Amino acid sequence: MSAGDSIVYVVDDDASSRQSLEFLIRASGYTVRAFPSSKAFLASPRPETPACLVLDVRMPGLTGLELQGELAKMGVRLPIIFITGHGDIPMSVQAMKAGAVEFLTKPFREDTMLRAITLAIDRDRVAHRDRLEMAELRRRHARLTPREREVMASVVTGLLNKQVAAELGASEKTIKAHRGKVMQKMEAASLADLVRMSEKLGADA
């Protein structure tokens, strides 16, 4: 199993169902963390690692679908595999539209479930890499002084140092020094690299 450091979260209010899922997924080599309610899941800290969520649709309190909405609102893009006691087509359509990986009806075949988990974890691994990169970019960007950020914003639009100097009302030499600092702090290998980074940051902001 190539589970690695990935985590499978299970949220199901039914103890039998929850414990058996936990047992099955753990037997397949994943780390499992199970919760009896949406609230308990939201209250627990989640380490930044590839993960997915196996979620019961019907639960007292916050239902599975409501938790999906809540996570989307919080900007948490955790792949979700829904499970439900009995197939409910409109509900599954809604869940899939909202980005669920899979919608399984109990009792499900275990290989279907495990395949869905593998797929979800793989999907999250890519996202996880992006998330890490974004976090790194943000960390670097946060180190820039306000002036350096202005210089970076102008430089990435393709302006020459002289034009930037004119725009910001500074000498060309000062701008050149700022630009060097920006390249260094952002750890950009080239102007093209810096432009790409800026785009990512911009898209996320």
Partner 1 sequence: MSIPTGSPLRRSAFVRYALPVVAVAAAALFTLALQSENTHVAGLPLLFCAAIYSAWFGGLGPGLLAALLSSGAIALNLVPPPSPGNSVMEELPRLVTFTIGVFFVSWIGGRQRQAEQLLELARDELEARVAERTAELSRANRELQSEIAERRSAELALQTMQLELAHVSRVTMMGELTASIAHEVNQPLGAIMNYANASRRLLASGTENVAKVDEALLRIAGDAKRASDVIARIRALSRKKPTEKARLTVKDLVDEVLAIARYEIQARGVTVRTDLAAGLPPLHVDRVQMQQVLLNLVINSMDAVEAQPAKDRVIEFSARACDSEDGPAVVMRVRDHGPGVDPAEADRLFEPFHSTKPQGLGMGLPISRSIVEAHGGRLNLVPCEGRGAAFEALLPAEERTAP
- Interacting residue ranges for partner 1, rule: CB under 8 A: 13-14, 16-17, 19-21, 23-24, 27-28, 58-60, 63, 85-86, 106-108, 110
Could you give the CA distance from residue 85 to residue 117 in angstroms, rounded to a whole number?
19
Question: Least distance in Å: CB of 182 to partner 1?
Answer: 52
> Closer to partner 1 at the Cβ: 91 or 159?
91
Nearer to partner 1, 46 or 106 (CB): 106
Token pair of 107 as six digits: 């009792």
Q: Which residue has the tokens 């002289």?
A: 162
184 class by beta-carbon count within 10 Å (0-12 exposed, 13-18 middle, 19+ buried): exposed
Nearer Cβ to partner 1, position 13 or 102? 13
Element of type H or E holding 154: helix 146-155
CA distance 58 to 65: 8
Please state the closest distance from residue 142 (CB atom) to partner 1, in A: 42
We find the least distance from the C-beta atom of residue 101 to partner 1, in angstroms, to be 19
CB of 108 to partner 1, least distance (A): 8
Q: Report phi then psi at 104, rounded to 5.
A: -105, 140
Is 1 or 205 the residue whose CB approaches partner 1 more closely?
A: 1
